[in-house]
């Protein structure tokens, strides 16, 4: 037999063998579409966070996230003095006059009925990010190619796609907007951002909030001008423009101080925290220094509303699962107003500007990603091109029962309950008296996973609900078992709510 025929036969044999193996045996995760609930109900519903915070006297903006067949109209009872609600858009603006905890009764009416829910407005010092921030950040899709038009397009798409109606609020510009300092020291935007104040006004006119990025060092990570020695002035400039969120990325600060002592890590963040406190505007403070010096242990102390716990994520199973499943133990440092941040979401069209492509995570892996990030109380910052959302990505990001885990007002992130041969169980208590449980299969084979009552600290017969399917599964005693595909997840809620709206 000639060498060519031998090769042909061998090739044929290998392809027959490969075809007869399951994806798990070949180590390739099949990109099958998992069954998840799709689309919004036509009946009105109020979604997203149930609690928001503000400093009295500072500008306030909050759009009530609501879905249902329109036109929708909004009413609110018990708004604190200083705030007004636009009944057509559901946008609350103004500035709260007096510190306090206000319980506002919101009602939304639509073509198919009405819905009511309480929204707590906490007015006082340090009341931002009482639930993890939700929104979009430019880096994972546009990186250095970000400009004013793309930010406006992201804000438009946030509304048009319906994502804002599920609670996504922030539109965050990452690195690469800076040019240089003027003679008076004020930071000047580059030509791609002709008017930052006009951009903020545009984003606010939609009921959304605008975020920006800087570094405590002289340069940002992409080599643009950082805030070193200009922290106070920069914070005032951000306030003047109408910025609502600052990602403060360590980068070249290492050239100023090589951190050794805990205080070396904290110092640059303390300086900016002080500057933000006195700039006249509420600006959420997001620390980015990749987990150095165990930032989770002191992020709150230096005024951080969230802090990156890891290096940069990318859209591969190794990166996403490596980061996500290594968060165990950090949960005890997070809570309302201060969150661990395992980095942004890598779903949809991502690509860091050069190479925009659909996330290389399989659909099943993306369900794992969003389930885990919700359980972890991570910020939910979408990193994709918002103008090209497909139905699967939209469904993944707008499941209100999953979002309710991320935004649970109790704010107790999940920890790992067990890990047996790649089957991991994570759980967290919820404010309504139930518990959320994630069953994950990180192994290469499809496998059965069991959430055992004894390990979860519960007893007796309990109702179980599948959150991705939005479906009651029945009552279970002792344990709930599910077959989970390789790299997949099931997210359930166990128990009967003891607290309702």
Annotated active-site positions, please? Answer: 249, 312
Minimum Å gap between C-beta 151 and ligand GAL is: 15
> Which residues between 386 and 415 bind ligand GAL (CB under 6 A)?
none
Minimum Å gap between C-beta 452 and ligand GAL is: 38
Instruction: Return d(Cα 373, Cα 375) in angstroms, integer.
Output: 5
Q: Interface with ligand GAL by CB under 6 A: which range of 54-62, 220-228, 319-327, 403-411? A: 220-228
Q: Tokens representing 168?
A: 């996504």
Minimum Å gap between C-beta 432 and ligand GAL is: 34
Q: Tokens representing 36?
A: 């998840």
φ, ψ of residue 442 in degrees (nearest 5): -90, 0
Confirm or reject binding of residue 315 to ligand GAL (CB under 6 A).
no
Which residue's CB is nearer to ligand GAL, number 143 or number 450? 143
Minimum Å gap between C-beta 78 and ligand GAL is: 39
Single out the residue of 412, 323, 385 nearest to residue 140, CA to CA. Answer: 385
Residue whose pair of structure tokens reads 């959304």 in the numeric block: 208
Does residue 142 contact residue 355 with C-beta atoms inside 8 Å? no
Using alpha carbons only, give the angle 197, 200, 206 rounded to the nearest 5 degrees. Answer: 145
Confirm or reject binding of residue 253 to ligand GAL (CB under 6 A).
no
Confirm or reject binding of residue 221 to ligand GAL (CB under 6 A).
yes
Which residue's CB is nearer to ligand GAL, number 355 or number 498? 355
Instruction: Return d(Cα 382, Cα 230) in angstroms, integer.
Output: 30
Confirm or reject binding of residue 341 to ligand GAL (CB under 6 A).
no
What SS3 string covers 425-478?
EEEEECCCCCEEEEEEECCCCCEEEEEEHHHHCCCCCEEEEECCCCEEEEEECC
Confirm or reject binding of residue 175 to ligand GAL (CB under 6 A).
yes
Q: Tokens representing 114?
A: 């009405």
Single out the residue of 114, 127, 28, 13 nearest to residue 80, CA to CA. Answer: 127
Which residue's CB is nearer to ligand GAL, number 51 or number 173? 173
Confirm or reject binding of residue 139 to ligand GAL (CB under 6 A).
yes
The correct pick among 147, 174, 234, 365 for binding ligand GAL (CB under 6 A) is 174
Which residue's CB is nearer to ligand GAL, number 249 or number 365? 249
Minimum Å gap between C-beta 243 and ligand GAL is: 16
Which residue's CB is nearer to ligand GAL, number 60 or number 193? 193
Minimum Å gap between C-beta 430 and ligand GAL is: 30
217 by Cβ neighbours in 10 Å (0-12 / 13-18 / 19+) ranks as buried
- Element (DSSP H or E) covering residue 83: strand 83-85
- Element (DSSP H or E) covering residue 320: helix 317-324
Minimum Å gap between C-beta 193 and ligand GAL is: 16
Confirm or reject binding of residue 249 to ligand GAL (CB under 6 A).
yes
Which residue's CB is nearer to ligand GAL, number 175 or number 282? 175
The correct pick among 222, 256, 423, 450 for binding ligand GAL (CB under 6 A) is 222
Q: Interface with ligand GAL by CB under 6 A: which range of 202-210, 218-226, 263-271, 367-375? A: 218-226
Which residue's CB is nearer to ligand GAL, number 249 or number 432? 249
Q: Which residue is nearest to ligand GAL (CB)?
A: 221
Q: Buried b / exposed e across 349-385, counting CB within 10 Å, b at 16+?
A: bbbbeeebebbbbbbbbbbbbbbbbbbbbbbbbbbbb
Q: Which residues have a Cβ under 8 Å from the Cβ of 44 and sit 6 or more positions away?
A: 66, 67, 68, 69, 72, 108, 109, 110, 112, 113, 114, 115
Minimum Å gap between C-beta 226 and ligand GAL is: 11
Which residue's CB is nearer to ligand GAL, number 277 or number 312? 312
φ, ψ of residue 416 in degrees (nearest 5): -85, 130
Instruction: Return d(Cα 460, Cα 447) in angstroms, integer.
Output: 26
Q: Tokens representing 122?
A: 């906490």
φ, ψ of residue 379 in degrees (nearest 5): -55, 145
Q: Tokens representing 360?
A: 């290389």
The correct pick among 61, 66, 108, 288 for binding ligand GAL (CB under 6 A) is 288
Single out the residue of 376, 387, 232, 392 nearest to residue 313, CA to CA. Answer: 376
Relative orientation angle of helices 196-205 and 231-241, to the nearest 10 degrees: 50
Minimum Å gap between C-beta 177 and ligand GAL is: 11
Which residue's CB is nearer to ligand GAL, number 322 or number 497? 322
> Which residues between 75 and 94 bind ligand GAL (CB under 6 A)?
none
Q: Tell me the number of residues near ligand GAL by CB under 6 A.
A: 10
Q: Interface with ligand GAL by CB under 6 A: which range of 160-168, 216-224, 234-242, 354-362? A: 216-224
Site residues for ligand GAL per CB under 6 A = 139, 174-175, 220-222, 249, 251, 288, 312
């Amino acid at each position: 037999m000639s060498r060519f025929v031998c090769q042909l036969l061998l090739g044929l044999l290998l392809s027959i063998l490969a075809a007869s193996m399951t994806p798990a045996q070949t180590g390739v995760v099949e990109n099958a579409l998992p069954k998840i609930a799709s689309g919004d109900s036509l009946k009105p519903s109020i979604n997203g966070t149930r609690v928001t915070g503000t400093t009295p006297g500072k500008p306030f903006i909050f759009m009530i996230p609501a879905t249902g067949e329109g036109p929708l109209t909004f009413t609110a009872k018990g708004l604190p003095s200083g705030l007004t609600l636009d009944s057509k858009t559901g946008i609350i603006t103004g500035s709260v006059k007096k510190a306090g905890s206000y319980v506002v009764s919101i009602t939304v009416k639509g073509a198919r009925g009405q819905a009511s829910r309480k929204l707590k407005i906490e007015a006082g010092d340090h009341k931002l990010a009482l639930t993890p921030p939700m929104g979009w950040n430019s880096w994972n899709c546009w990186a250095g190619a970000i400009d004013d038009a793309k930010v406006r397009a992201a804000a438009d798409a946030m509304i048009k796609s319906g994502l804002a109606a599920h609670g996504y609020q922030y539109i965050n510009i990452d690195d690469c907007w800076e040019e240089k300092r003027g003679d008076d020291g004020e930071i000047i935007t580059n030509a791609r951002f002709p008017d930052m104040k006009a951009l903020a006004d545009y984003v606010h006119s939609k009921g959304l909030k605008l975020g920006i990025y800087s570094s405590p060092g002289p340069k940002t990570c992409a080599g643009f001008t950082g805030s070193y020695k200009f922290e106070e002035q920069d914070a005032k400039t951000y306030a003047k423009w109408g910025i609502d969120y600052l990602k403060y990325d360590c980068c070249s600060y290492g050239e100023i101080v090589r951190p050794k002592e805990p205080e070396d890590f904290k110092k640059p963040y303390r300086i900016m925290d002080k500057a933000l406190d006195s700039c006249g505007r509420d600006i959420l403070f997001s620390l980015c220094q990749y987990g150095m010096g165990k930032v989770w242990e002191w992020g709150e102390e230096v005024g951080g509303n969230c802090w990156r716990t890891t290096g940069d994520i990318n859209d591969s199973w190794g990166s996403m699962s490596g980061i996500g499943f290594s968060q165990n133990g950090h949960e005890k440092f997070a809570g309302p107003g201060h969150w661990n941040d395992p980095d942004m979401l890598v779903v949809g069209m991502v690509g860091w500007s050069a190479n925009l492509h659909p996330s290389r995570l399989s659909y099943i892996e993306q369900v794992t990603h969003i389930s885990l990030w919700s359980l972890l109380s991570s910020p939910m910052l979408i990193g994709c091109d918002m103008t090209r959302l497909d139905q699967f990505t939209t469904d993944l990001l707008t499941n209100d029962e999953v979002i309710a885990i991320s935004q649970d007002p109790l704010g107790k992130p999940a920890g790992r309950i067990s890990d047996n041969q790649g089957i991991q169980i994570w759980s967290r208590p919820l404010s309504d008296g139930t518990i959320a449980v994630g069953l994950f299969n990180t192994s290469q084979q499809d496998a059965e996973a069991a959430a055992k009552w004894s390990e979860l600290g519960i007893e007796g017969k309990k109702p179980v609900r599948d959150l991705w399917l939005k479906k009651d599964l029945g009552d279970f005693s002792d344990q709930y078992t599910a077959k989970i595909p390789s790299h997949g997840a099931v997210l359930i809620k166990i128990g009967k709510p003891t607290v309702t709206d």
